[in-house]
Structure 1
Amino acid sequence: MSPSTPVHEDKRSPMLALGILSISFLMSVSNAVSGTIPLMEKYFSDVSRANVELLIVIPTGGVLLGTVISGLVSNLLGKKYTVIAGLSISLVFGIIPAFIFNYPAILISRAMFGVGMGIFTPLSVSYITDLFPEETRNRLLGWRNSVGAIGDSIMLFIAGFLINISWHTTYLVFLFLLVPILLVMFFVPKHYDNIVSEDGKEVEEDVKIKPTTNFGVIQLAFIFLLVCLFYSAISLKLASYVVNNHIGSAAAATRIFGFLVLCSIFSGLIFEKIAKWFGKYTVTIFYIITAISMIVMSFTTSIPVLLVLVLAAGFCNGIINPALTARMVHYSPKGSMNFTTSIIIIGINIGFLIAPYFFQFFGEMIGNAGPANMILWSGIFYVLLAVYDLVVVKKDKLTI
């Protein structure tokens, strides 16, 4: 069928959107089981602390590999079965530590868990950008962030009960992945594998088009990398800042982070309206608010004020991410959305991976690697991102 030939328009069921959004239930590779580190250190007494912590972060490396091969798998199986395969890989390898207590086996299983995530995560975006018109797309991209935050909360809640039994049973939390597997299986039809929305109509995509990329996509991936890198200053440095400056305890800082989940849910739900209000300046405006929040944060000595500033930065991040994601439609070459999404996800993961080393290097370079100074400079870098965004919006004629 020709790429421009209209196909029969399906009456979109809300369950289709639910099935697609459910792919994003698991957006964090480590949160749910990070609490097992102290218990695993005792169990693996002959393994170094760094190697035990590696069990928590190794899925990120797996995500990078899975993201690279996602397009190849999708070409072989189609979108629907690629998502189911990726979710199934993450489920099976995710629960292996509950039954096998050998360190090398657990290390491999955790890496493969990440590979599964890397396979299905790009499709959680490309399904939305391919199938839905702009207004609906913006709404669902915002909801996607909310669904991820809700999924993380549910899994953290379940893991909190399971860890009281043993660290092994905590890994049974990944049985939760049965939920998106079943929702995709029953509510996301196979015929949507090669359907895209153009001018309000569903058309069948030409599968013979070879996926390509361009400078715009690479530029966007680099921006995602920088956003994740600078935003990491909060998660990496705030607790140390609070404790070192006798503002509060580590527990107080942890409670502040706990509110970020609610913030992510809220920002995702209202993203569509925010994007309508601010249009093409959405990203720029929320860069600036983030910058102000982080700069003021670095001088604050009050827990309540810190809470407000962290929530402001978290809310802004919940707007910036889907807004930048929506730009993928503008930059992505025709028939290459899955490949584009994979490139973006690689940029995001690299940003998070290099953050600790970047702050160490930059701190040594300027002669002050203190937590407050790193938060301050991250705020300054957000100002530079805002200036660059104004240039990009004008140059590339972006609508969001």
Structure 2
Amino acid sequence: MDQKQSSWLYKAAMLSISLVLVTGGSISAALPEMAKTMSGVSPAGINLIATIPQGAVIIFLVLSGAFVKKIGIKKTILLGLLIMSVAGIVPAFTNNYWLILVSRFVFGAGIGLYNALAVTIINLRFSGSEQSTLLGYRVSMESIGASVASMLVGVLLPLGWHSVFFIYLAALPIAFFFYRYVPEIEVPEHDEATETATQGGLDWKNLVLSLVFMILVMTQITIILQIPQVMLERQISNASIASMVVALFTFSGMIGGFLFGRLYTMWHRYALSIFLVGSFAGLMTLYSAHSLVIMVLGTFIAGVSGSLMCTSIFNLMTNVTAPSKQAFANTVILLGANVGSFAAPFGIQFAQSMLGRTAETPLLFFGMLIIMVSIIFIFASRFYTEEQA
């Protein structure tokens, strides 16, 4: 590792691009005010403003590889950040629903261009415990960015809903920081020493990880959606307090990210299964909660464990994937994550149709699913050791 690569500015610049990766939904608090301005648009159409970027992310995750081959990793990341910034602020200057919708789709395209690369650049430049630590920090950056963006939206919203979209200007200084301190990152050529990890294209182990990640993200989204519902249904507190509890879920994910490197090194082979058990404990605490204290406790446990288990997926991928294939593997795994995010409402409906139409039954359903995955991975972990690569 050269001196530049070991510098804290180099690492900070690599991590900084994750600050704006999950801010697409941060403007959701402005949707009711937007609905008043766009009285002719249906509630579903208004909600589409918040969700349509996800569709673009899925498409451009797949197309990202073509951009990397044409212009390289660094320029693809910078292009994604610039698209995010420019398209992100378009709604600040118009009331036209269709123009806003198109700009939000383009905004999602920018995210999709470099979503997988935010992980890939760490996997390519670092290894061992340092890689694990930085992957954990990267997840924390997402949590920090989402939390700060949500707070800024709360501050700007009294000035009018148009103003909240200026939060996406933050992508510009991040792009400059990344441009200044991170040199071009080359994707390694195929290495015969890692033939077994990549023979025939994408390894089946990564397809399994993608499926597991889909379940994990569905679980995380379900927790976010159901916490307010459970609190209101059980009369634990009001909507304002419920929103603060949801914010705690994001904050606790940041803590999990900072702890990841040390915990993964400690438990290694069985880390994912242990983190899944922690998520199960959090889900069951939320499921049984009838007081604010227990609700907060369950939220904290689920948030920390959820961050840890999601970060583990990328670590396991590097164990079984050659460096030359990791960008593609990241894309496939993140496709699973985005499908899970999109499918979460349908998962909630299915859980309620199976176990009863109350707010807490999806928590029980996904808790049962998570513990089954944990048991399976106790036995499957031998396929994901570093020796397998």
Instruction: Specify the TM-score bucket, using the shorter chain as the normaliser.
Output: over 0.9
**1:225 equivalenced with 2:218 (yes/no):** no
Aligned to 1:23: 17
Aligned to 1:111: 105
Q: Give the CA deviation at 1:38.
A: 0.6
Aligned positions of 1:313-328 closer than 5 A: 313-328=302-317
**1:338 equivalenced with 2:327 (yes/no):** yes
Question: How many angstroms apart in 2 are the aligned matches of 1:210 and 1:382?
Answer: 30
Contact 2:209 2:333 in 1 (8 A): yes
Contact 2:136 2:311 in 1 (8 A): yes
Query: Which one of the candidate residues 173, 186, 199 is aligned to 1:193?
Result: 186
Aligned alpha-carbon RMSD (Å): 2.2
Q: Give the CA deviation at 1:296.
A: 3.0
Contact 1:211 1:336 in 2 (8 A): no
Aligned to 1:387: 375
What secondary structure, in the 3-state scheme, does the structure 1 residue paired with 2:266 have? helix
1:215-236 Cα offsets, whole Å, 9 max, x none, are 1111110010011112322112
Question: How many angstroms apart in 1 are the aligned matches of 2:166 and 2:211?
Answer: 36
Aligned to 1:267: 256
**1:290 equivalenced with 2:279 (yes/no):** yes
Question: How many angstroms apart in 2 are the aligned matches of 1:211 and 1:84?
Answer: 32
Question: How many angstroms apart in 2 are the aligned matches of 1:106 and 1:380?
Answer: 40
Aligned positions of 1:25-174 closer than 5 A: 25-174=19-168
Contact 1:237 1:371 in 2 (8 A): yes
1:303-325 Cα offsets, whole Å, 9 max, x none, are 11110111001000121111111
Change (3 A) 1:266 1:334: closer
Contact 1:20 1:127 in 2 (8 A): yes
Question: How many angstroms apart in 2 are the aligned matches of 1:310 and 1:187?
Answer: 37
What secondary structure, in the 3-state scheme, does the structure 2 residue paired with 1:369 have? coil
Aligned to 2:194: none
Aligned to 1:300: 289
Q: Give the CA deviation at 1:328.
A: 1.4
Question: How many angstroms apart in 2 are the aligned matches of 1:155 and 1:299?
Answer: 31
What secondary structure, in the 3-state scheme, does the structure 2 residue paired with 1:193 have? coil
Give the partner amino acid of 1:54: L
* Percent of matched pairs sharing the same residue: 24
Question: How many angstroms apart in 2 are the aligned matches of 1:370 and 1:268?
Answer: 32
Question: How many angstroms apart in 2 are the aligned matches of 1:227 and 1:145?
Answer: 14
Question: How many angstroms apart in 1 are the aligned matches of 2:250 and 2:40?
Answer: 36
Question: How many angstroms apart in 1 are the aligned matches of 2:107 and 2:320?
Answer: 30
Q: Give the CA deviation at 1:252.
A: 2.1
Give the partner amino acid of 1:267: G
1:170-207 Cα offsets, whole Å, 9 max, x none, are 111100001220111100112x23369x9xxxxxxxxx
Change (3 A) 1:126 1:330: same
Contact 1:224 1:347 in 2 (8 A): yes
Question: How many angstroms apart in 1 are the aligned matches of 2:21 and 2:283?
Answer: 24
Contact 1:142 1:322 in 2 (8 A): yes
Q: Give the CA deviation at 1:210.
A: 11
Q: Give the CA deviation at 1:293.
A: 2.1
Question: How many angstroms apart in 2 are the aligned matches of 1:24 and 1:338?
Answer: 16
Change (3 A) 1:210 1:165: farther
- TM-score (normalised: structure 1): 0.90
Unpaired stretches in structure 1, ≥5 consecutive residues: 1-7, 199-208
Question: How many angstroms apart in 1 are the aligned matches of 2:367 and 2:348?
Answer: 13
**1:357 equivalenced with 2:350 (yes/no):** no
Query: Which one of the candidate residues 347, 364, 371 is aligned to 1:376?
Result: 364
Give the partner amino acid of 2:63: I
Aligned to 2:227: 238
Question: How many angstroms apart in 2 are the aligned matches of 1:314 and 1:152?
Answer: 14
Q: Name segments (4+ residues, structure 1) moved above 3 Å.
A: 8-11, 209-212, 395-400
1:111-131 Cα offsets, whole Å, 9 max, x none, are 110010000111100000011
Contact 2:249 2:302 in 1 (8 A): no
Contact 2:4 2:10 in 1 (8 A): no
Question: How many angstroms apart in 2 are the aligned matches of 1:396 and 1:275?
Answer: 13
Higher helix content, 1 or 2:
2
Aligned to 1:175: 169
Give the partner amino acid of 2:377: D
Q: Give the CA deviation at 1:371.
A: 1.5
What secondary structure, in the 3-state scheme, does the structure 1 residue paired with 2:312 have? helix
Aligned to 1:201: none
Q: Give the CA deviation at 1:398.
A: 5.6
Question: How many angstroms apart in 2 are the aligned matches of 1:398 and 1:385?
Answer: 21
Change (3 A) 1:171 1:399: farther
